[in-house]
Amino acid sequence: MITSTQNSKVKEIRDLQAHSKARRAQQAFVVEGVRLCEEALEASWGVRYCLYSPDLTGRGMELVNTLNEKGVEAESAAEHVIKAASETKTPQGIVMVLDAASQPLPSAAEFVLVLDQIGDPGNVGSLLRTAAAAGVQAVLASSGSVDLFSPKVIRSGMGAHFRLPVATLPAEEIIETCQGWDVQLWASVMEQGIPFTQAALGQPAALIVGSEAEGVGEELLQAAKKMHIPMPGGSESLNAAAAGAILIYEAVRQRSQ
C-alpha cells in the first residue's frame, strides 16, 4: 500500500492533473471515480496504472479486479494519498492514468461540432457530453480552446471522450478538415445571418460555437455561413454550453425529418 504523498506515482498524477504541458509531454491524462473508470475500460482505453482506496465500493473493486486480470498495475493507497492525488473535493477512491490517444477522426463525417477559443472547461465538457448524446461524429477545437483532457473537462464530459473523436487543431486545419469532409461550416454569431431554425443544419454541417466573450474568430467566421439564436427576452448572449446544445439539437431535429 502507498502511504506517502511523495510517492512517484502520486507526484506524477498531481502533475498530470495540474499541467497541460505534463499531459502533452507524457501523452497521458487522469480520470477519477468509478463511472469514468468504467467508461474507460468499456472503451478498451489504454490504462497505465491505477491507485485505489482499500475501502472502495464493491462496484469499484470489480474494476480493480478487471485491471488485475488484464495485467494492469493497480495499487492500493491510503485515504490521505488518494485525496492528495485527486483533483476533486470528495474523491471516490479510484484514480487511473490513461493514454492520451483520442478516438481517431473519421474518414468521412456529416455532423460536426467546432469549438472556437472556448476557455471554460465546464462549458467544453458539457458540449462534449451533449455532442456524444446527440450523435455528433467529431468535435474539433481551435488551438485557443481549453485543453480537452484537463480534469474539469474530463469530469464535465462524463465519458464523452471515450465515445467521441476529438481533436485540437489550428483554425486553418479545422477549415481544411471540414472541406475534406464536404460539410458546410455554420457559425453562431450575435444578430447576424439567418435564424438558426432556417439554417440547413440537416445537411452535412459543422456547427461553430465561439466563446461567450469573444465569439467566433475571424478566420473561421470568414469560412462559414452565419446564423444566430433569436433572443426575444433581450439577453445579450447565452453561455457556450447552452448555445451549443440548442444548435446541436436543432440539427438533430432537422436530420430526423
- pLDDT for res 105: 94
Residue 191's region, left for phi above 0, alpha for psi from -120 to 50, else beta, is left
- pLDDT for res 135: 97
- 131 and 226 share a domain? yes
Flag residues of the chain having pLDDT under 70: 234
- pLDDT for res 90: 86
The total number of structural domains that make up the chain:
2
- 167 and 55 share a domain? no
Integer CA distances (angstroms), 105 to 96, 124, 125, 184, in order: 24, 18, 18, 17
What residue numbers bound the domain in which 18 lies? 8-99
Four-residue CA torsion sign, 189, 190, 193, 195: positive
- pLDDT for res 102: 75
Q: Is residue 161 part of a domain?
A: yes
- 129 and 159 share a domain? yes
- pLDDT for res 120: 95
Say if CB 156 and CB 178 are below 8 A apart: no
Q: Is residue 131 part of a domain?
A: yes
User: Which of 99, 127, 162 marks a domain boundary?
Assistant: 99
The residues with which 184 forms a beta bridge, in sequence order, are 205
